[in-house]
Amino acid sequence: MLPARRNLSMTCKLSRFLIPALLAFAAAPAIAPAYLATRAQAPTSTEVLPLSRVHPGMQGYAYTIFAGDQVEKFDLEVIGIMPNFLGPRQTIILVELKGPKVEHTGVVAGMSGSPVYFEGKLAGALSLKLGVFTKEPIGGVTPIEDILHPPAQMSSGNAEYQPQAALGGAQQLSLPQEAASRTGLPTGSALEPIETPLVFSGYQPEALRQFAAQLQSYGFVAAQGGTAAPKPDDGHLLPGDMAGMVLVEGDTSISSACTVTAIRRDEVYLCGHPFLSLGDVQFPMARTEVVATLSSELASTKIINVGGSIGTITGDHLTAVTGKLGTPPPMIPIDLTLAVGGTEKKLHFAMVNHPKLTPLLVGLTVFNGLTQNSLYGEGTTLHLSGEVVVHGHAPVQIENTFAPGDAFSPDGLPIALNIQSVFNRLFTNTRETPVFERITLRVESVPGRQSYSIESAWLEKGEAAPGETLRVRVLLRPYRGAARVEETTVRVPEQATRGTTLRVLVTDGDMLNRASRGFSFSGGGGSNASLDQLIAILNRERRNDRLYVGLFAPTPTILWDDKELPNVPLSQINVIDGRPTPGTVQILRESLASESSIPLGGPVAGVISLNLQIR
């Protein structure tokens, strides 16, 4: 080894890195002899080697899986000790991996958490890698002292909903280049956490591309993989085995995969660094099987099948991803039915309940399930219906219609984004984390593009008396079809003031929602709205496949969370305006006095405003 490498030092400060570490030093649970015979190389030592006894030139070894379930040993040598490298009193042991396999593959995505031993004693966890296109496999090890005495861990819990970028590197779905350049480090010179692959089974590349921007914001390392049937010995983990957290399971699956550092009774410590820094969580933990290790000069990775559930991931913190062997936690069941003519296809999924992940996962999974099957076809009008059952609350009713567009994007994408929007809005409340019991969705496909634009509208007369009912005619233009006239009525309220002018708004459901709810519509009711109030607002929203006619009076409306108080006297407005009030209060200058609608079977777009004089 070159002396220059032994004295290697790095002065760059890495603003995005967390310290990878894992807490584990006890033996694995009892395992059947036949199974143990195939795991002869798995580590058995539980002794700990302090950092003070680690020095440059020291020879050691680590464990990981390159294929199947065989834990294999590979050698390594200490290059140097790097105090305060990732932060105050956060020392890293810089090592070079040795042996035919690791010299061929380099540091492999999924290797994070591999237990490292010197003098036959556990010294730390392999958790960092140095650069890309490097000629030697160089990595970083978190000392066991930092693992056994981690800094105070801050749990994100479920109260903070701001997404955090993961520290998992990237391959096809990498962090944007401008984000990487902000570290100020030359490309490939940073000591980074080893990637934790996020294994997508049953998801086509096209589905991932449609959500690539959102996946990049989380720093996911997307890898395609498969699923393996559960085996009786899945729960018999040894240091060097592979496991991970399950995000989606069923007809498709999404799971992370990394190496187990140690097992302490029924507690499992793995990965060597955070997956997404989610804090305390309750996700299923699954065994993973390595099909093969793919060598790449850019980013070697393990090709993985996800196995059976073996317990619960309980934490995703600064020092480790932790789990507990046993019964996995419940997930949200999702049933998706696609109907075309008289044929139906049913798909079933289950996913985790988490404010940062569930909206993205449900959008991606619904889009993939809808578009990647034989019944789906482009150029069709899609009718979405269903409900989201929230524990302890009224169900959220979903119903909308989506027609093909002229843009070069899949027709099913608006459905997925609509579902994702519903979940984003449910998670905006700061009072309660929704617990979803089940999601039921049905998509019916009708050939052709059924959509309508509003070209003109007129009243049967320009004035009316209080209490009178007026006919409203609307000229609609179907997509590539002959214009047609639809007729409906609006009723002038009895309390309408003579001599005033009312406004007749002929429009689609989205515009009428905004006209009658203001910012409370677009924001879901405000951040102070309760979950019940958010659900009430969602269930009152108008459908997009109807033509709406709304009659607005020039009297103020108070929107108080999910409540609408029209025709409020100015004296009461003056009492509320400018004074602190509980909840979210908004004052609109108009009140929706009456409305009517006409179902059309396809999306409607456009707006016409007419004046009506009250005599």
Residue-wise pLDDT tens digits, 541-584: 999 999 999 999 887 766 665 566 666 665 555 555 555 454 56
What DSSP state is assigned to residue 51?
Answer: G
Element containing residue 442 per DSSP (H, E): strand 436-447
Whether residue 374 has pLDDT greater than 80: no
Contact 193, 141 (CB under 8 A): no
Contact 477, 450 (CB under 8 A): no
What integer pLDDT is reported at residue 528 of this predicted model? 63
Candidates 111, 236, 147, 132; CA nearest to 185 is: 132
What is the C-alpha separation between 241 and 231, in angstroms, rounded? 15
Candidates 226, 279, 278; CA nearest to 255 is: 226
Burial 235-254 (b: 16+ CB within 10 A, else e): bbbbbbbbbbbbbbbbbbbb
Contact 171, 220 (CB under 8 A): no
Q: In angstroms, what is the C-alpha Rg of the chain?
A: 30
Whether residue 157 has pLDDT greater than 50: no
Which residues are 303's β-sheet partners? 292
**What number is the average pLDDT over the span 353-381?**
89
Burial 84-117 (b: 16+ CB within 10 A, else e): ebbeeebbbbbbbbbeebbeebbbbbbbbbbbbb
Dmax (CA) for the chain in angstroms is: 98
What integer pLDDT is reported at residue 104 of this predicted model? 83
Q: Name which residue leads in pLDDT, 155 or 494.
A: 494
Q: How many CB atoms lie within 10 A of CB 599?
A: 11
What DSSP state is assigned to residue 53?
Answer: G
Contact 301, 110 (CB under 8 A): yes
What is the C-alpha separation between 349 and 361, in angstroms, rounded? 11
* Helix ranges restricted to H, 190-248: 205-210, 212-218
Task: Quickly list DSSP for 92-156.
Answer: EEEEEEESHHHHHH-SPBT-TTEEEEETTEEEEEEEEEE-SS-SS-EEEEEEHHHHHSPPPPPP-
What integer pLDDT is reported at residue 163 of this predicted model? 32
**What number is the average pLDDT over the span 376-399?**
93
Contact 366, 250 (CB under 8 A): no
Q: Name which residue leads in pLDDT, 43 or 241.
A: 241
Q: Name which residue leads in pLDDT, 235 or 247.
A: 247
Whether residue 37 has pLDDT greater than 50: no
What integer pLDDT is reported at residue 19 of this predicted model? 31
Whether residue 442 has pLDDT greater than 80: yes
Whether residue 280 has pLDDT greater than 60: yes
Percent of the chain exceeding pLDDT 90 equals 37
What integer pLDDT is reported at residue 276 of this predicted model? 85
Whether residue 443 has pLDDT greater than 50: yes
Whether residue 23 has pLDDT greater than 60: no
Numbers of helices and strands, H then E, in the chain: 13, 34
What integer pLDDT is reported at residue 329 of this predicted model? 95
**What number is the average pLDDT over the span 320-326?**
89
Burial of 178 (0-12, 13-18, 19+ CB in 10 A): exposed
Q: How many CB atoms lie within 10 A of CB 403?
A: 23
**What token pair was written down for 348?**
């079933």
What is the C-alpha separation between 183 and 274, in angstroms, rounded? 19
**What number is the average pLDDT over the span 352-360?**
92
What integer pLDDT is reported at residue 175 of this predicted model? 36
What integer pLDDT is reported at residue 238 of this predicted model? 87
Mean pLDDT lowest among 206-215, 233-242, 499-508, 521-530: 521-530
What integer pLDDT is reported at residue 184 of this predicted model? 45
What DSSP state is assigned to residue 52?
Answer: G
Contact 286, 306 (CB under 8 A): yes
What integer pLDDT is reported at residue 473 of this predicted model? 96
What is the C-alpha separation between 240 and 115, in angstroms, rounded? 7
**What number is the average pLDDT over the span 364-384?**
88
Cα-based angle 55, 56, 61 (whole degrees, multiple of 5) = 85
Q: Please report which confidence band the pLDDT of residue 25 belongs to, taking 50, 70 and 90 as the band edges.
A: very low
Q: Please report which confidence band the pLDDT of residue 610 belongs to, taking 50, 70 and 90 as the band edges.
A: very high
Burial of 551 (0-12, 13-18, 19+ CB in 10 A): buried
Mean pLDDT lowest among 34-43, 137-146, 393-402: 34-43
- Mean pLDDT (the chain) is 79
Q: Please report which confidence band the pLDDT of residue 39 belongs to, taking 50, 70 and 90 as the band edges.
A: low
